[in-house]
Structure formats: C-alpha cells, structure tokens
Chain A
C-alpha cells in the first residue's frame, strides 16, 4: 500500500482542485498577498537571523582576522584592512587536518548510525509495540543520561573506565582474566566516546519517533494486518514511509548536533589519548579559540576552523534534503479531501 498526493503520478483522483494563484500586479500587492505567510514565518526568520546568520557572519569576519587574546581590545578585527586568508592557509598547512576530519566523520557517522538514529528508531518501534506502560518506562530510562549533568555523567564514566583496581569495569574484567587492567579510556577511547555520546543522543530521536509512530492512524496498521502483513512488513511498508519527515528531521538535526558537539569528548578524553586520537573538528576549534594552558588564545584562527565546520554542516543538511526529497515533503497538497 502506498499513498501519493502527486497528481502527475496518477494517484488518488482529486475531489476538488484548487484554483491557481493569480499573479499580483505589483511588488506591493505581492507582499500584501503574502502577509499572512510572513506573519507566520517571522518568528522563525527572526530567530534564525539572530542565532544563525548573524553569528555566522561574525564568525566569518573573525576568521579573516588575527584576533587573539594578545591583541584583544586593541586590534580592530572588524576592519576589512585587517582581513586576510592567513588563517585558512594555516589550516591547509596543518598536517593533521585529515586526522581531525577523519575523526569527525567517524564520530558522527558511527554515533548516528548506532545510537542517535539506529537505537532511537529501534527502541521507538519496540516500545510502541509492547505494553504501553512498559514502553513508557523504558523510554524514561533512556532519558536519564540526558537528564544527568554533563560533569556528573562524565565523572561516572571516568570511574567506570579507570584502571584497576579503581575502575568498575576493570574489576569485572580482572576477575574474568580479561585485559591488563589499563585505563579503558586509553586503550579503547572511541568505544567510550561513542557510547557516552550515543546514550545521550538516542533519547532525542526516541521521543520524536515515538510520537510520530503513535500519531499514525490505527486504521493503516489495522489494514496492513488485515492484508496479512507481518510486523516487520508493517514497519517497513507502512510505519517507516509514514515517518519519513521525522526521520529526515532527526537525521539532519542529529548530524549537525554531533558535528558541533565536543562537550563530552572534552570532559572524557580531552581529545586524547596520544596525539589527537579523539580530537574532532569542533574540539580542535575550541582548543585553539577558547582553551589555553599558558595564555594567548587564538580567536581568529579558531574561528576559521569553526567556519569550515559550518560549511560542512550546511553541505550535509543540503544532501539530506536532496536524498529525502525535501521539496516533495513540504509541497502543498494538490488536493483537499473534504
């Protein structure tokens, strides 16, 4: 069973076709005809302008300057005469650029696939197919990591991974004769980085997917059962197609969120062990721009790293929209069922 609202695909015959819009005679009239749309859009436009476009422009200008704590307050970073592409040249000249990029892609894709999307969808499907109260309880459990303050959460994980005899996991591993009792954050840092972030991230998709699945009219699910579909077939052919919107949203949002997240990595491994083993792009930008052991943080240089991250994020969001045919998802229905 499939549903299409596109007339040219020969879907359900229309019961009433809308009249095409009349073309306004002037710009004023054009704006007037869309004032309701602008009124509805304006809060979102305002927020996006304030919290995305303006910061991105400031970031871009900063990235062209040599602003750092040693000239903060005296250097006029906003003047075009003080702009150059030197920071970007430095980034290209950094031999570890591929490592930071590789770390970032590995971290984002793995965490997304296993937890933020994969586990979220799986748990949403399972908890909506079991007893309602039990489903609610299990979903609540998955929210606990998100509810726990980051520092407490990471301290807990550091103790879990600590070397023997203090580490909780190592106590069991030692009993079982496994491992050398080393700090597990040193021997398998990525495993912990992904689990620690994933357990927090999964709850977001879980809530969205659960509500989307619960919103599917029961008639569709009943109809598929009447048609003899198994549970797996129902999920594949009915549920997943009908929650394509939330899937696009969760994938896009969580990809961007993971791209820019570094808080847990900073607290857990600091980007180590060793030389940048878990240093992702956002953490690199943070280290350069905002973290210093002995002074002189490089705000301009760090901003250049962040600008590249914005470009990667916008590119990723665009690809998702193409793959999921975003235009079709937001297309105005050609028919109105009365």
Chain B
C-alpha cells in the first residue's frame, strides 16, 4: 500500500515538474501544489503556489496602538491577495504570505529590537516606525534606499509631495510614508468664553486668528493666566502639554523660529536665540501660574482625564488623540459629538508677533530591511497599502491625516468631519530632521526643559546646558547658531 502510494506520488511530482518546465502553461492552469491560508481580520485568503514556484514569507514589524492603529500592519495583510494576483498575471511563480508583528512598543525599543535582529540575521523585511529613525538606520546600512524602485509602483505617484521630505536622507528616499498627522492646540470653548476679555464670537474666530499669525503663544499664556486669575480654571490648568519626552516640544521650538538641520550639509543645528525664547515660554508658564508643570504627571492618570475632563483651558495634543479621547475618555459624554460641541482646535500659534502658525507632523514610514531577500515584494505589499481605500481605513480609525493627493476628495475620508477639518494643517507642517544624532539632540533639549519645569534652571542656563552638552557629545556634528 505504502509502496504503491509512493510510486503514484513520484509520478505526480514528476508530471507536475514536466508541466512547469515546459514554461508555456497558462498561469491559471498551473497545478497547485500548496495552498496557504492567511487570516486577515477574521477573513481568510488562499495563497496557491504553482509547481516550481516559491512561497515567500515577508515579515512586517509595525508599531501601532491598538485598537485605533491596527491598520498599519493589517493593511499589508489585505495586500497579500492583490500582490499574488499581480504576480500570477505577470507569470511570476513566486507567491507571498505575510507574517505581522504589531504592538505598541516604544519607538526606541522597536528600533533596538530591529538592530539586534538585524545583527542576528533575522530582521523583518518591513519595519514601520517614525521617519526620524531613517538617519540612524540608513547610516548603519540596515535599510535600503528605495529611490530607484519607487517608479516601479504607480501607487506611490499619488503621495502628497511634501511628505517625501520626511523620508529623504542625503538626497535619497528611504521609506514610504504610512500616515501623518497634525499636532493642534486644543481649547475648551466654554472655559475660554468665560475668561475676561473673551466671548463666544472671539472664541469662534480664534482658529482663524491663529492661522493668520495674529494670536501668539504669548497671547495664549495671557489668556491662560487670565483664566487662572478669574477662577475659570485652577492654578496651573491654563495650558498643558504632554507629560513626557516627545516630538511636540520640537514643534514649539519651530514656532519660535528654531531650526534643527542645515539643509546643505545635513548637519544638526541648534539655534540659541529660538532656544532661549522656547525655554522662556515654559519658564513663564511655570512662574506665571498659567501653565501646569505638566512634566509631573502621566498619560492615563493625569493628562487625558484632565484635558478631556474640562479642567484645562488650552492643551497641545495630536490629531490622532481626537479618536482616543472620543473612544476612551469622552465616550460617556457623547464622544466625538461632545468634542465638536465643546472643543476648538487650530495650528500651534506663532511664537511671537510676526511669526507664522505651524504644526509638527511625524509621519510613520514603512522601511525595507537591507536583509530582505525580496525588497520588490515588500514594496509591492506596501504599495497595496498605499491606496485611498486602504489608507483611509487607517486614517478614519486613528484620526491620522491623508498621505495621498486624491484622499481628501475620497468620499469616506471627506465625510470624516474631523479629518476634513484639519487636513489643511498639512500645508503648515514641519518635520523632525533625519539625522543619526537626532536622539541625542532631542534628549538633551528635553533634559534642559525638565530642569526649567522643575525650577532648577533658568531659560538662559537651559540654553547653556544644551549648547555645552551637544558640543561635548557631538563635537563637530552640531552647528550652534546665534
């Protein structure tokens, strides 16, 4: 019985090989020797591998906060069937399956994991992370430049041009933007209308005043202090920012005219004049009683409940947090409807009169590992996730902004009220620089801010500390201006 079975099997395999070797077979009639079932969000996709074909597993590692950001990797899973269909149509005998690893690990930790996996020869083919890691990863040779491959995928022609700057390093593109966002300043309209000198009409016009550059960060602190003085909010509850290190603070530095990178040389730049204004802003926030010493709390125990609970007048947040607040913090009050009714939002005001309103965008990008044996397939999967339909799924679920030129008019995106109302902010976006020393730069400027917030450093001492530390640690890889 066993012998007969083996003979039959051998004949079948031999016949299949013969058919495949002829090379004239219609792809649709190729004998299937393997079927793999890929599960996507409860659905399944069958992957049929033709005789002589190769089943390739692409591994994608995505940083995503569940449940709102799960489409970061899941959109790639949806692309599997399309990529295989394209391969089949092109007569390519390769077939793809995708393994995803997705969680909310910190950006720094994910990239350490990537570096160590790379050293061990086990790096994922695709890693989704903040664009600012490109400087480090490209310098170390762990990711590939995709400049020469982008043209092979028409989906990427639809990318908003300005976003390519976020993934460009040394004149080449090293990643595909996956999403972007704005960092608005939010305010509680009811509280603001109660502040002396404010009324409903002025509150309604605030976003336009900010965009025109007529309402500055200093004016915002004036309002915050007036609110505390009038008892509208408690002391320190006039203006809040995030409770930990993060990119938001660079947005404030930009608002004061600061620069972070020299466009010609790619060297990091620290502007002491803008830096001083930046620290003076936080110094005043602390001493003037209008702003809480916000680096003292945490997200769940302090920041979210207070900003979404009607206790804070102005706060800096992210567009993606709009969905989080609606889902987790204001759901009982009506969620998004409550937020529309009670909150206003706009760009970061200019640092001072004569400046411009702005926002800081932090696109996440799909990067392709230099260890990937099939970068073309990795990019093919990414291309399938870079469509109006796929990206809008993510945009709506996580309130991230459009990355494609046609997305703003794509009906599901256009009908998402919040997204439609903040998409204009992309025109005012600045990015973090792509430079391998950015981690040291950001940590140092944040350490100095911690000192100012704790009353341990004056603004000038903070600037001196930043200059001294950056020069000590980066040597000639930092340009000090001013």
Q: A interface vs B, CB < 8 Å? A: 68-74, 90, 93-95, 158-159, 162-163, 166, 182-183, 186, 272-277, 287, 290-298, 301
Contacts and interface: CB of A to CB of B under 8 A. Distances in A.
Interface in B90-130: 106-108, 111-112, 115, 118-119, 130
Interface string B134-145: 011101111000
Contact of A291 (B108, B141, B247): B108
Given A94-B472, A273-B296, A296 B448 contact: no
B295 interface: yes
Interface stretch (B184-192, B194-202, B217-225, B450-458): B450-458
6 contacts: A70-B139, A163-B296, A166-B301, A294-B132, A294-B438, A297-B439
B415 interface: no
A272 B295 CA distance: 10
Interface in B426-482: 432, 436-440, 442-443, 446-448, 450-451, 453-457, 465, 468-469, 472-473
A290 B112 CA distance: 8
Given A162-B301, A295-B111, A274 B456 contact: yes
Contacts of A293: 106-108, 245-246, 439, 442-443, 446
Contacts of A72: 115, 119, 140
A95 B246 CA distance: 24
B133 interface: yes
A73 B141 contact: yes
Interface in B256-298: 293, 295-298
Nearest to B472: A93
B326 to A, nearest CB: 23
Determine which residue in A72, A73, A293, A301 has the highest number of CB atoms from chain B within 10 A of its CB, and name it: A293
B302 interface: yes
A95 B136 contact: no
B25 to A, nearest CB: 43
Interface of B: 106-108, 111-112, 115, 118-119, 130, 132-133, 135-137, 139-142, 245-247, 293, 295-298, 301-302, 432, 436-440, 442-443, 446-448, 450-451, 453-457, 465, 468-469, 472-473
Contacts of B296: 163, 182-183, 186, 273
B437 A296 contact: yes
Contacts of A70: 135-136, 139-140, 436-437
A93 B133 CA distance: 28
B133 A295 contact: yes
A82 to B, nearest CB: 16
Contact of A294 (B108, B141, B293, B450): B108
Nearest to B448: A275
B401 to A, nearest CB: 21
A239 B253 CA distance: 64
B439 A296 contact: yes
A277 B454 contact: yes
